[in-house]
Structure 1
Amino acid sequence: MASPSPDVRSWRTSFLTLRDETLNPPPPSSLLTLLQNVILSHPSASLIAAAAQLPSHEITSDLVLLAGLASATLECPDAAAASLQICHLIHDVTCSIRLEINSSSWTIILNFFEKLTKQLLCEADAVNFAKVRTARVDVISEILEIIRHIYRGYGPKSSLSDNTELVGIVLCLISCLHTELLTIHQSNFSLSPATDIRVVYSTSKSLWEMQTIAYVLTGEALSKLGSSISANLWHCVLEGLRKAMDFLASKNLIIEDYVMSRFYATLLHCLHMILLDPKGSLSGHVAGFVSTLQMFFTYGLSSRSFLVPTTIGSVNKENGTSNHKSRFVESSKNEHGRYKPPHLRKKETLMQVPKSLSSSDSELSKNGFTSSDSDQSDGDGFAKFEDPFRSSKARIAAINCVQAICHADPKSLTSLWTILLPETDVLQPRRYPATLMTCLLFDPISKIRIAAASTLAAMLDRHALFFLQVAEYKGSIKCGSFTTLSSSLGHILMQLHRGILYLIQHQPHSGLSTPLFKVLSFLISATPYARMPEELLPSVIVSLRAWMMEDLANKHIGLLGIALSCLEAALSRSPSSVNVLKVLEEDISKDCAHRQQGSSLPHILLQLTERGRHSSVKLEALQVLKALIHNYPSLVTRVWECISSVVYSLLQTRSTDEFSPEICSASWRGESGKSPGSNIEKCTMAGVKVLDECLRAASGFKGTELTDGLEECGSLDIQILSDFRRRIRVSSAPSYDLNGLEAFKCSMEGHLSGSNLWSEVIMKHLPLALSHSSSMVRAASLTCFAGLTLPVFSSFTKENQEFVISLSISAARNDQVSLVRSAACRAIGVIAFFPQVVSCSSVLNEFIRAAEFNSHDPTTSVRITASWALANICDSLRQKATTSHSECSSTLKLDPESISVLVESALRLTKDGDKIKSNAVRALGNLSRFIQFSDHSSPKNLTSNCINLCDSDSDWLERMVQAFVSCVTTGNVKVQWNVCHALGNLFMNDTMKLKNMSWTSAVYSILLLLLRDSTNFKIRIHAAVALSVPGSRLDYGNSFADVVQSLVHVLETLNSDQTSTPSGFKYKGSLEKQVTLTSLHVLGFASSEDDQALKDFLIKKASFLEDWFKLLSASLMEVANQPSSSKETSSVDQEDIYIPHALKKTKLLAAAKSLSNIYTSSKRQGLAQRFVKYVDNLAEDS
């Protein structure tokens, strides 16, 4: 074995001596002397030569010992030179030898560098460290290179704590470099403010290279920390990045060369990683980040011809159309040259790089930071659009940072939309101010355009749906004029539409088409088209139609599906657009005029449902057709024949008929694992739903047929001002918003066409659909029955009526699939309202048993529709029992057991979930309205105008009340207001004497509690309605005083009440009116014979009551003095005005008389006189 060299022996002797002398730690000054005499006294060359011959683990152990001892000496005044020598030694060794680092040695080395950085470079005073300051940049460079070399080998094995330590020391080094840069800039610009920024940059180039290395290390450490990064460290990194970004913005340091391009890319990459998983608030940083990030949107493109501000074609500024294709489009079409692998692209590009750039590149490559061309996709034609500085990396990193901010803090970003998005001239290429649309339209790298599209989609998603509802367009922006936020947003939306639609029409890059359509989908959903130019929504539909018409047969399946989704969103926008309807009608008329089908949108959609089309495309096309018919029902007669044929063909198609191997091999949206059968079943179901939509449109279905015109005359005066009379838009009803008169005519005159369509469907389609092997198709077919209207059903032949009824009952009782039974129950719930059914006891009994059968189903969705059907049946019976028309009450002989089934089922279902409980309470409320009870809760003979029912169980009433009380405490909001409504129905039962019931006090207490304390205005309205039902003072029993006092307190606090949800605010006016009417009703029963406590309360509140009466009297006088508007006002409007006026006047007069009498008996003559005056004035007006 060869003997070690003298250098090795000297190394080992020195470090052995050092270990022996430091077994007992000496003072720092002695330790410094020891290091200088034992280690640093040797020539550096001999130490490096010895290290090359020693084992790696021995070198590592010795250097770690040296670093640890050097850390202890840094507090000595004269330790600078020795520390720098040790740092230089470690640097030289690590550059030639790979150290075997573990966690403890990593910590020791980083601790030494951290102390060295903070004390020698940051906190040193000029007297002691004047010589050291001149070499501070060299020290930072050596420390960074040491860390980089060590981390290259140790990084994959490093722990979270190791990476946390690394980020900490690197942040300290970056701070020192930033100080050096700031010093250089201040010294240069203080001498000559006009100094060229490039001159300053040339003197600080090495500092930017070192910062690049530092940010690369930071990025690698952050990637390993991931979501485990501590909040404190996250804030430190964020503050450091904000400091660097602000420095760039303040000095306008956007320099296009290789070094700076690398620096920008690494800096922005670190920022992106920090923004992806925020550990704190970003609101204070968003504005600063965005303003700097915007500077990079066109970085590296300043000399590109496609950013010269020239006009793109001949653009029509109103509609965004162009007669000529843009220079960008022409160039992008030509950019797809011969394919060149990335390594060949890189070689060719480097051949064109200037000499100085190549040297800089090689320097960074030497340090281990090489670049790939992954940011340029293979179709970008990189040979044509050279990117020698790799500037595209900085651009895409800046866009990704904006997207990360959008996900992390969308609310803060919305205030900066005017910076990121254009308000004018989106199709005009510009470099400043650059926007995301500039990147999307004009960047030569498709990957960057895709990133810009993804960022736009993120901005338009979620929060923007609410934020953009204030947007409006008021014409072009005048230069220099003040623009409101709503107007700015309106112009932004216009420019987004113009740019996106232009790209969809002219973009040849298929990879960009998918994100473009995604952006368009979000844009359609977020835009308030009612506040925008009326031609905007039609232009979207026309553009999508034009895109689909162009080479329709060869369209990519996935793109076609996404385009159809956008089209569905556009046609589904509410309210419906008159201009869209005109476009659709004109297209259909042109087809008819030329006797050809294919150019209009409906016929394009029908083409996409033909045999041989991919099932996913078929499904999307059918859904678009459904949206078209739903929002534009007047078109149904013009496309019915084709739709009927398509759906009939789908119903006749077997699962295997449609699918050739070629079609099956094409997958879309992850459907490759699905069987062909399931796809064709979905298409058939969608076809039946289109059929359903057509039937509803032709029948004039509005969804309010179940209750329109069926209000009880006895309760009308109580509910006239309540929420019950609000017109509710039913989502399943077609939209008739375009023209009220036409909609009215459609609903009144369309019954004949509706009947004809229904007859065709019953004969042709439903027999196939209801016997289909797919449960989805059978369920959709039964749902059609839920769209029936009374006029259409009445026009059916007896055979067709029996067909509908029998199939609904059969499906509800016999089908094995819960989905089908649920649809059958919904159909039963609708049909049960028709007089032909209510008048036939056998059919009604079958309906009751079918619904009751399904109320036991283990599937919740089935129990929900079954309970809904039961509640509707009870509602229909209530209307039948309480109507004053003899023809509606003389033909029904209901099975006595059926009423018992209804009651017991409803009582049982009140213990189910909230949705079922709500329907059960409604059913009990309707039953309690007409079931006849004696004073002792036993049956009694019925009046002549009521249905002859069975004897009721003696405990029904008590169990109903217990169920109501239980549901108030356990149910949700809907259950609670249904309980209030049910109690109102119960109070209307004339055969039940409220004054004799033991539970009345508890029920009144519940109603008062809901009226006072509920945050939901609808609940309070229903509670007030129920409290106004009792017709006499005795019906309130011992609770009368509590009712009066609670109502007065509610009146006093109405203006200060706050609803828990913004959507409830619209009910506040109805609540005020209903509480007013209820209070007048109850005060009308007050008398001088009431308890003294109540009279004292009314005297105490006399001032408030007087002001209240004065206000009510004034409002009545104002209504009475208004000129008659009967000619201009519809009958519904007259009812809403004049019936409340007469009703309020009557109630006000009665209440004034009662209070006058109370104040007179209490010897309050002044108060009594004023209320007598109110009575006289009201009597005179009568």
Structure 2
Amino acid sequence: MAINCIGNACAGAAGTKLQPFFQDLYACLLGNVCAVDRTTQGTIMVASTTLDFADTAVRKVASSTLRSLQFLLAQDKSLVTNPLCDIIEIIYTFIFLHVNVQSYGVGQPLNLTPNRRNRLSQPSTNTASIVANRPLQMSWRTPLHKSSSLVTSSESELSDSASLTELSPRRQRDNAKIRINALLCLSAIANTAPKALYPHWQKFMPDTFSIFLDNNAFNGELPPLLKSDNQPYSLFTILLYDPMVTVRTAVCNTLVSILDGSKQYLSIAQESDKNKSSFTSLSENLGSIVRDVHQGLIYGLAKEQSKQVLTLMMHIATVLVENCSYERLSKSHLPSIYYAVADHWKEQNLHGPILKVIASVFSIYQDNLKELIQTDVIEQIILKAVSNQNEDEEAQVEVWRTCSTLTRCYFKDTMPMLWQKLIETTSNLPISAASLKFMESYASAIHESGEFTQQNVSWWQTVIENYLQKAATNEDAPSVRAAACDCFASMSRDIFETFHYRYQRLAVTLIFSLASDTDANVRAAACRALGVFVLFPSLREDPLFFSDMLKAILLQKDDKTILVRVRASWAIANLCDALVLESDTNAEFNLREYMSTTEWIQVLEVSTNGSLDNEKLRSNAVRAIGSLLRITPKEYYQNTRIMSLVKNAMQGLEKNIEAGSLKIRWNACHATSNMLLNPHFPIGFIPKEGGVYPWTHTLYQSLIHSLLNCKNFKVRINACLALTTPKQQDQYGDKLTLIVKSILEAWDVCQKNTEYKEIKYKQQLEQQIKHSLKCIQGWLPVQFKDKVSQILLDTCDS
């Protein structure tokens, strides 16, 4: 009871309050199942070999201790590397305690799930009476601390008498509880300290499972009972042969914890010819483990009968595929996984998990998967799932996600054939967030492929009329309305420009109607779609569209939802960029035709506030400031109120040039360069009045700071570009000498940098410095002329 109290106290968020006592509690708990021993690692605690597991009380103490340990390990990852003991070795001992031919090869507990395939035969009456009359003995084949590589099934056959005691249902239930709690401990370590567990993967998933299969599998099937073959046990031994559903469930959850998030570790796995060399590298070792995990799953999926465990196995398969890099692995793994899960398609309640696995398999491009798409996946899986009216909600969502994956990763092998077959199967596709996501994937694939055909235009017209129009007016499902906006945002410029005016107006009207939606996600999606549309040439030239878009976007400036403000900020930045494009291509461009002075002020205020808001807004906010001030006419800068707004905007720019993420700083430097392309922008000396504009010193100083102190070359390149963007000497004020000195200092620093990994960007910075010096060569102070001439002369010579 006291042990359980410790575990309960450490569980959940309340456990963090006990942080100062974790070490003591840890030692206390280990004392129940461990003994002090001198090992090669020094004097540490190891799993005790004197515990009498024939005693029910001992089994209960061990189970409760492991349960409490998993709560502790979940709270404090430092315990995993605590020198007090090798906790992973201790957990290994209890996971594989009584895993042997006697336990898994003689009989099964009385409460087994009846639908378990290859059901183990019940002990005969004679055997049962023998068990009842014999005294309880410890089933102790090997010492608890024995190395994993030496634990074999042959050793576990040394005691027939001990195996008979293990037929006791109560004994098996207690052993199962110990194993489950030990697995929970391993799962806790995998979640809290995965890097500490990586070196020990081979203990729990040895690369000898393929040998086990060679020795035991016949015609692609494993025997119903575990047989001895002198191979070390693994988690798959338990998954394949443990008669308890709860244990197999715990193994599945543990494997998910181990594999999830291991992409960086698994990325080095490589399968190669073992006869190639006597030396086995880490990547080849890991490749062997990955191969055996795939094989274990495939055989497990074929052998398992419990729907609960099958669902979890499919989850393991999904996580495994998502975390493996298959470039250096066998090409047979993914098709084998596909066939293993597809064999269960007749069981309708497994359709959701099956489709998840299929989607993950086909998210990876392999030539040998292409032939499966038409013959198997589309005909046997997707079309049947779409046409089945009795599919549960999960399967309905996953079938469209699978379609999206195929469209995204196998576009040329899938489209438009998949779309045509779907329409033939069901004349009108259901309108749901998942089906619209599939349409979005199709639209994005069309855009990325660069294929501009009348067939694609017709497809878009059909989608707008039959699906997006209904989805945008669906009052019951905000997710459907948001998905409709995402579809519109995937439209390419060429498609839109080819549309008849009717379709263009319909698309724009639907998006505007959703920009003021009651749901925040819909508003955010509508802002994103407007941000895409404003860059289309026909809309870019339309002052009415600009006016309507401004009104719609400015309504979101104070939205409480950060996502809406982020998307609105992005849309405003794109709007300002569109104005720059229009001013560059139209000689008669007049800003007032697109926005009034009041709207100009609102845009600058919103962008300035955004530059000081959440980090997610800042990169777009500074981009908007730069583009807006670039196209601002001279007379605006003669307005006192506008100049005070410009001062605030400069403070926002300066802050983001000097600090923030690299993306923010890069955008801030680029925005400054963009802004300074306006010959009328007020910076440097004030004409007629004398003196300098108040932000001249601070703005140039911020750029100099980034040029000399920022570690990122891209930021430094843009800072250097901005420093010499002004085309008039007066725009530098009294800072020209400081600017030239700083650029030359940046050149010297650049010459001293010899790191090979930075050579590409170093060369780009050198080119930018030379270009900047050329831009101001005519205004150089005397003391710098010789050095600048030498730098530029070297450029000519090279």
Q: Return the TM-score normalized by structure 2.
A: 0.78
Q: Please, which moves more after superposition, 820-829 or 891-900? A: 891-900
Partner of 2:351: 560
Partner of 1:809: 512
- Residue 617 (structure 1) aligned to one of 382, 395, 416: 395
Partner of 1:533: 330
1:876 deviates by 0.9
CA displacement, residues 278-302 of structure 1 (integer Å, 9 cap, x when unaligned): 4653315598444455455554354
Partner of 1:514: 311
1:398 deviates by 4.3
CA RMSD of aligned residues (A): 4.4
1:529 deviates by 1.8
Partner Cα separation in structure 2 for residue 907 and residue 1080 of structure 1? 37
Q: Is the 8 A contact 1:1011 1:1021 kept in 2?
A: yes
Partner Cα separation in structure 2 for residue 461 and residue 604 of structure 1? 31
After superposition, where does 1:358-373 map in structure 2 within 5 Å? none
After superposition, where does 1:102-181 map in structure 2 within 5 Å? none
Partner Cα separation in structure 1 for residue 524 and residue 167 of structure 2? 61
Question: Which residue identity lines up with residue 785 of structure 1 in the other structure?
Answer: F
Partner of 2:638: 938
* 1:924 corresponds to 2:620: no
* 1:283 corresponds to 2:81: yes
Partner of 2:136: 357
Q: Is the 8 A contact 2:7 2:68 kept in 1?
A: yes
Partner Cα separation in structure 1 for residue 746 and residue 289 of structure 2? 47
1:638 deviates by 0.5
After superposition, where does 1:315-714 map in structure 2 within 5 Å? 333-335=117-119, 352-353=131-132, 355-357=134-136, 390=172, 392=176, 395-426=179-210, 427-428=212-213, 430=229, 432-462=231-261, 464-476=262-274, 481-548=278-345, 551=346, 554-556=347-349, 559-573=350-364, 576-587=365-376, 598-599=379-380, 601-607=381-387, 610-634=388-412, 635-644=414-423, 649=428, 684-697=432-445, 700-702=446-448
Partner of 2:487: 784
Check 1:897–1:282 CA distance in 2 against 1; reply closer, same or farther (3 A cut).
closer
Check 1:434–1:1030 CA distance in 2 against 1; reply closer, same or farther (3 A cut).
same
1:460 deviates by 1.2
CA displacement, residues 587-640 of structure 1 (integer Å, 9 cap, x when unaligned): 47xxxxxxxx842x4324424xx4232223212222222222222222120111
Partner Cα separation in structure 2 for residue 893 and residue 231 of structure 1? 67
Q: Is the 8 A contact 1:776 1:820 kept in 2?
A: yes
Question: Which residue identity lines up with residue 1155 of structure 1 in the other structure?
Answer: K
Partner of 2:654: 965
SS at match of 1:687: helix
Q: Where in structure 2 are there 5+ consecutive unaligned residues?
A: 107-112, 140-163, 217-228, 686-691
Partner of 2:225: none
1:926 deviates by 0.9
Partner Cα separation in structure 2 for residue 1180 and residue 632 of structure 1? 50
Check 1:540–1:286 CA distance in 2 against 1; reply closer, same or farther (3 A cut).
farther
Partner of 1:14: none
Partner Cα separation in structure 1 for residue 384 and residue 484 of structure 2? 25
Q: Is the 8 A contact 1:910 1:920 kept in 2?
A: yes
Partner of 1:141: none
1:797 deviates by 1.4
CA displacement, residues 785-805 of structure 1 (integer Å, 9 cap, x when unaligned): 211112111221122122222
1:494 deviates by 1.4
Partner of 1:1108: none
Partner Cα separation in structure 2 for residue 504 and residue 689 of structure 1? 30
* 1:852 corresponds to 2:570: no
Check 1:413–1:527 CA distance in 2 against 1; reply closer, same or farther (3 A cut).
same
Question: Which residue identity lines up with residue 803 of structure 1 in the other structure?
Answer: L
Partner Cα separation in structure 2 for residue 434 and residue 828 of structure 1? 59
Question: Which residue identity lines up with residue 619 of structure 2 in the other structure?
Answer: S
Q: Please, which moves more after superposition, 1040-1049 or 483-492? A: 1040-1049
Check 1:799–1:900 CA distance in 2 against 1; reply closer, same or farther (3 A cut).
same
Partner of 1:1002: 698
Check 1:952–1:583 CA distance in 2 against 1; reply closer, same or farther (3 A cut).
farther
- Residue 1155 (structure 1) aligned to one of 787, 791, 795: 787
Partner Cα separation in structure 2 for residue 979 and residue 387 of structure 1? 70
Question: Which residue identity lines up with residue 366 of structure 2 in the other structure?
Answer: S
Partner of 1:865: 567
Partner Cα separation in structure 2 for residue 396 and residue 854 of structure 1? 52
CA displacement, residues 467-520 of structure 1 (integer Å, 9 cap, x when unaligned): 222222224477x93222222112211111111122123311223223212322
Partner Cα separation in structure 2 for residue 767 and residue 230 of structure 1? 61
Q: Is the 8 A contact 2:582 2:589 kept in 1?
A: no
CA displacement, residues 101-133 of structure 1 (integer Å, 9 cap, x when unaligned): xxxxxxxxxxxxxxxxxxxxxxxxxxxxxxxxx
Check 1:615–1:1042 CA distance in 2 against 1; reply closer, same or farther (3 A cut).
same
Partner Cα separation in structure 2 for residue 985 and residue 532 of structure 1? 48
Question: Which residue identity lines up with residue 281 of structure 1 in the other structure?
Answer: L
SS at match of 1:244: strand
Q: Is the 8 A contact 1:910 1:917 kept in 2?
A: no
Partner Cα separation in structure 2 for residue 985 and residue 443 of structure 1? 68
The structure showing larger relative contact order (alpha-carbon pairs under 8 Å, at least 6 residues apart) is: 2
Q: Is the 8 A contact 2:33 2:62 kept in 1?
A: no
% identical aligned pairs: 22
Partner Cα separation in structure 1 for residue 171 and residue 39 of structure 2? 18
Partner Cα separation in structure 1 for residue 523 and residue 308 of structure 2? 45
After superposition, where does 1:1023-1062 map in structure 2 within 5 Å? 1023-1031=719-727, 1035-1053=731-749
CA displacement, residues 134-166 of structure 1 (integer Å, 9 cap, x when unaligned): xxxxxxxxxxxxxxxxxxxxx7xxxxxxx6xxx
Check 1:1027–1:816 CA distance in 2 against 1; reply closer, same or farther (3 A cut).
same
1:952 deviates by 11
1:910 deviates by 2.3
Partner Cα separation in structure 2 for residue 604 and residue 563 of structure 1? 13
1:878 deviates by 0.1
Partner of 1:378: none
1:916 deviates by 3.5
User: Number of paired residues?
Assistant: 725
1:456 deviates by 1.4
1:844 deviates by 2.7
1:810 deviates by 3.6
Partner of 2:464: 762
Q: Please, which moves more after superposition, 759-768 or 1030-1039? A: 1030-1039
Q: Is the 8 A contact 1:871 1:920 kept in 2?
A: yes
Question: Which residue identity lines up with residue 248 of structure 2 in the other structure?
Answer: R
Partner of 1:978: 667
Q: Is the 8 A contact 1:839 1:891 kept in 2?
A: no
Partner of 2:529: 827
Q: Is the 8 A contact 1:299 1:395 kept in 2?
A: yes
Partner Cα separation in structure 1 for residue 85 and residue 564 of structure 2? 52
